[in-house]
Structure 1
Amino acid sequence: MRSVRARAAIGATLVVAVALIGAGLAVLLVLRTHLTDRAALEAEVTARDVAAQIDLGVPYDRLELPDGEERPVRVTGEDGKVRAASEDLEAMSGADEESGTATVDGETADYRFAAVEATVPGGGTVTVHAGAPLAAEREAVGTVRDAMLIGLPVLLAVVAGVTWLVTQRALRPVEGIRAEMAAITASADLSRRVPVPDSRDEVARLARTTNDTLAALETSVERQRRFVADASHELRNPIASLRTQLEVGAAHPDLLDVPGAVADTVRLQQLAADLLLLARLDAGERPGRTRFDLGALVREEVSQRPAARVPVAVDAGEGLDVAGSRGQLARVLGNLLDNAQRHARTAVSVSVWRAGDRVVLAVDDDGEGVPDAERERIFERFVRLDEARTRDAGGAGLGLAIARDVAHRHGGTLTTSTAPRGGARFELRLPWAG
C-alpha cells in the first residue's frame, strides 16, 4: 500500500480496535463478576434468613420463604429428604456447587446458590439451599456486549476518518514539497525553492533542509559551469598558439619557434594538471594521513627550486609534524612561493612555527600586497588581479584556489594579510600531529 494516509489510518484503526476490544472484554468480565458476586450475596442472605428462622424453632410449614421464581429455597435434612421448599419449586440442580439450575412452575433458569446449615431444636441439623437468579446478570452482560458490537465499528470508522483527514492535512506541505521538487527536476531550474510551512514541526525543518540542499546544489552547479567555461577559455589560448606555431613550422621550418612551442606545451601541461587536481578535489578526494615534518618539507622544496630573481629565506624549526598528503601540501607551498616571487621586489621568506594545536606556515613578500577588498576574491578560480600582465607571466589564476582547497581538505585554513615588510603574507594553518 503506497499511501501514507491509508497506512496511518489503518494503523491507528487497528491500534484503537485492539485497545477497545481489550477494554471491552475487561469491562464485560468485571461486570459479570460483579453481578455474579451480587447474586451470590443475595442467595446467602436469603439462606441465612431461613436458617435463622429454623434456629428459632419456627416449624417448617410456617417458614417465611421468598417467591420461588425470584429466590428458590429448599430445606433438606441429614437424610437428604426435603423438609420445606418454596412454592412451585419443582427441582433444584447444582445447589451444592454454587451455580446450577432450578425449575419453578415448569420453567428452568440459571441461579447462583448458597448453602447454610441450621440447627433444629431438639437436635439435628438441616441444610438451607437458596438461589438468586442470574437472568439479570446475563441480560446486563448481553446488553453491554451488544452495545459494544454496535458502537465499536462506528467508533473505528470515526477514528479511521479522523486519522485520514488529519494525516491528509499534515502531509499537505509534504505534497507541496514533492510537487515543487518534481517541477525543479523537470525544469532543471535550481534557483527555485520548495514552500516552507509556517509550522515549526518536522515538515518545516524538512523544507528548510531541502532548500539548503538546493542552494548548495545550485552553488555547486554554477561553480562547475563557471569552471568549465573558464577552463575552456584558458585551454583555448595555449592550444591555438601551439597549433599556429606548429602550422607555421610545417609550412616554413626555418620560422619554427621551438622555445615558444615548448613554453606553450609546458603551460598547457601545467594547466591540465591544475584542472585535473581541482576535479579530484571537487569529487571529494580525501588526502592521505601520512605524518611528516612540515619544516623539513619546506627546507627540501625550497632547496630544489630553480634559481630565481628573488631569493627565498627559510626559518623552520624541528618537530612540526602534520598529517596529510605530502605531495598536495608541497603543491600548496610551491603555489604560494610562485605567487610571492612573482610579486616580490627583493625578498621572499618562509616561516614555520607552532601555535597551540596548529602548525603555521607563512610566506611573506615585499611587493605591493593585496588590497583588503580583494583578500577573499583572490582565492576564487581563474581570478587574476593583475589583468594587465600577460597570461604567460600571470598564470591561469588557479594556484591560490588550489592551495585553499587543499588546505580545507587537510582540516586547515589559508588566509592572506599584510607582511611585516609591507607586502602580502599568506598564512597556512594545519592541525598539529604531535
Structure 2
Amino acid sequence: MAFFVPLATVIAALAAWFALRRALRSVEAIREELSVVSGSRLDRRVPVPRSRDEIAKLASTTNETLDRLERSHEQQERFVADASHELRSPLASLRTGLEVALAHPGRADWQSVARRSLLDVDRLQRITSDLLQLTGDRPLSTELVDLSDVVAEEAAVHSSLGVGPRVLASVEIPAMVRGELGQLERLLRNLIDNAVRHADSIVRVRMDARDPDVVKVEVLDDGPGIPVHERERVFDRFVRLDDARARDGGGSGLGLALARDIAVRHGGTLTIEDSAAGARFVLR
C-alpha cells in the first residue's frame, strides 16, 4: 500500500504536466500568431484548439476582437480616403481661381474671385466642422429641452428664406427631452436641409409626443425618394446615390451621418421609413 501512494502521486503529476504542456502549446501558438498582427496584417487569426476549454474560448474571443479591429481599420481607411477627396475639391477650386486671377490681374474680376473663394472656404469649414463633430467623443449635457421649440424654430428659419421648397411644421407643445440643445438643433437642421435639397415643392415636419416615453419627429419631402436597399447607406459618410438624389454642392456629404450620430448619442434612433411619396426620415 505504501508503494502505490507514491506511484499514484507520480502518475498524477505526469498527467498534470502533460495537460499543462498541451495547454501551454496552444497558448504559445496564439502568442506567435498575435506577434505578427500589425496594421498591414490584420487578416491574421489565431488557431482555435479543438478542446472546449477556457483556452479555446480565449482564442475565439481573440479572433472576434481581431475581426472588429480589421473592420474598424478598413472603415478608417475609407473615411480618410473619402475625406481627403472631399477636401481636395474645394482646395483645388480655390487655388485654381486665385492662380488664374494672379496670372491676369488686369482682367480679373476681383469681387467675383473673392466671392467664389469665400464659397470654397465656407465649404471647407463645413466639412472640417462635421469631421470634428463625428470624431469627437465629449460627453453630452443633459439639460431639459423642449423639442417642439427646436422643430418650430428650424422650420421657421427655412420658411423665412422665401426661396426653394416650402417647409411646413406641425408640432405638439411641449415635448420635453433630455439632451444638448445645440446638438439637437443641428440634428433637425441637417434633416431639414437634406429634405429641402431634394424636395420638389414642399417639406413637412411632423412631431408626435403622445407617448410619454418617446418623442417622434418625421421629416418628409416630395422628392424622388430613396430605394429600400439604399436606406442605410445614406447614413454613411460621403455616400453618393444615383443622380436623382445625388449630393449637390451645397452639402458636405456628412449631414445625415452626423444627424444619426447625434441621435444615437442621445439614446435615440434615426431611420428612413416607407412613404407614399419622397423620403421619410423618422427620429425617435
TM tier, smaller: 0.7 to 0.9
Work out whether 1:303 is the aligned partner of 2:159.
Answer: no
State which structure, 1 or 2, has the greater radius of gyration over its C-alpha atoms.
1
Supply the distance in 1 between the matched residues of 2:170 and 2:192 (Cα, whole angstroms): 14
Counting only pairs closer than 5 Å after superposition, residues 31-180 of structure 1 correspond to structure 2 as 147=2, 156-180=9-33
Give the CA deviation at 1:190. 1.2
Aligned residue for 1:358, secondary structure, equals coil
2:205 match: 350
Supply the distance in 2 between the matched residues of 1:389 and 1:377 (Cα, whole angstroms): 13
Q: Contact 1:369–1:418 (CA<8 Å) still a contact in 2? A: no
| TM-score normalised per structure 1 | 0.59
Counting only pairs closer than 5 Å after superposition, residues 196-211 of structure 1 correspond to structure 2 as 196-211=48-63
Work out whether 1:378 is the aligned partner of 2:230.
Answer: no
> CA 1:286–1:206 in structure 2 vs 1: closer, same or farther (change >3 Å)?
farther
Structure 2: gaps (5+ residues): none
More deviation in 336-345 or 207-216? 207-216
Residues matched between the structures, number: 277
Supply the distance in 2 between the matched residues of 1:375 and 1:318 (Cα, whole angstroms): 30
1:220 match: 72
Work out whether 1:270 is the aligned partner of 2:106.
Answer: no
Supply the distance in 2 between the matched residues of 1:384 and 1:188 (Cα, whole angstroms): 28
2:193 match: 338
Greater RCO between the two (CA within 8 Å, min separation 6)?
2
Supply the distance in 1 between the matched residues of 2:278 and 2:207 (Cα, whole angstroms): 18
What letter corresponds to residue 415 of structure 1 in structure 2? T
Aligned residue for 1:338, secondary structure, equals helix
Supply the distance in 1 between the matched residues of 2:213 and 2:51 (Cα, whole angstroms): 43
Write out per-residue CA displacement over residues 169-188 of structure 1, whole angstroms, 9 at most, x where no aligned residue.
23333322222111223x73
What letter corresponds to residue 238 of structure 1 in structure 2? P
Give the CA deviation at 1:356. 5.9
Structure 1: gaps (5+ residues): 1-143, 430-434
Q: Contact 1:347–1:365 (CA<8 Å) still a contact in 2? A: yes
Write out per-residue CA displacement over residues 133-186 of structure 1, whole angstroms, 9 at most, x where no aligned residue.
xxxxxxxxxxx9xx4xx877665544433222112223333322222111223x
What letter corresponds to residue 364 of structure 1 in structure 2? L
2:183 match: 328
Write out per-residue CA displacement over residues 165-223 of structure 1, whole angstroms, 9 at most, x where no aligned residue.
112223333322222111223x7311222222333332222222212211111111111
2:142 match: 289
2:100 match: 248
Write out per-residue CA displacement over residues 314-345 of structure 1, whole angstroms, 9 at most, x where no aligned residue.
11112322222222222111111111001111
> CA 1:391–1:313 in structure 2 vs 1: closer, same or farther (change >3 Å)?
closer
Give the CA deviation at 1:380. 1.2
Q: Contact 2:126–2:252 (CA<8 Å) still a contact in 1? A: no
| TM-score normalised per structure 2 | 0.88
Supply the distance in 1 between the matched residues of 2:224 and 2:169 (Cα, whole angstroms): 21
Write out per-residue CA displacement over residues 222-280 of structure 1, whole angstroms, 9 at most, x where no aligned residue.
11111111111110110111112222333434333222111111111111111111221
> CA 1:173–1:274 in structure 2 vs 1: closer, same or farther (change >3 Å)?
same
Aligned residue for 1:193, secondary structure, equals coil
Give the CA deviation at 1:389. 8.3
Give the CA deviation at 1:312. 1.0
Aligned residue for 1:350, secondary structure, equals strand
Aligned residue for 1:419, secondary structure, equals coil
Q: Contact 1:248–1:255 (CA<8 Å) still a contact in 2? A: no
Write out per-residue CA displacement over residues 80-120 of structure 1, whole angstroms, 9 at most, x where no aligned residue.
xxxxxxxxxxxxxxxxxxxxxxxxxxxxxxxxxxxxxxxxx
Supply the distance in 2 between the matched residues of 1:259 and 1:394 (Cα, whole angstroms): 15
> CA 1:262–1:394 in structure 2 vs 1: closer, same or farther (change >3 Å)?
closer
Aligned residue for 1:393, secondary structure, equals coil
Query: What RMSD, in angstroms, separates the aligned Cα atoms of the two structures?
Result: 2.4
The structure with the greater share of residues assigned to strand is 1
1:236 match: 88
Supply the distance in 1 between the matched residues of 2:122 and 2:134 (Cα, whole angstroms): 18
> CA 1:162–1:213 in structure 2 vs 1: closer, same or farther (change >3 Å)?
same
Supply the distance in 2 between the matched residues of 1:188 and 1:160 (Cα, whole angstroms): 44
2:274 match: 418
Work out whether 1:259 is the aligned partner of 2:111.
Answer: no
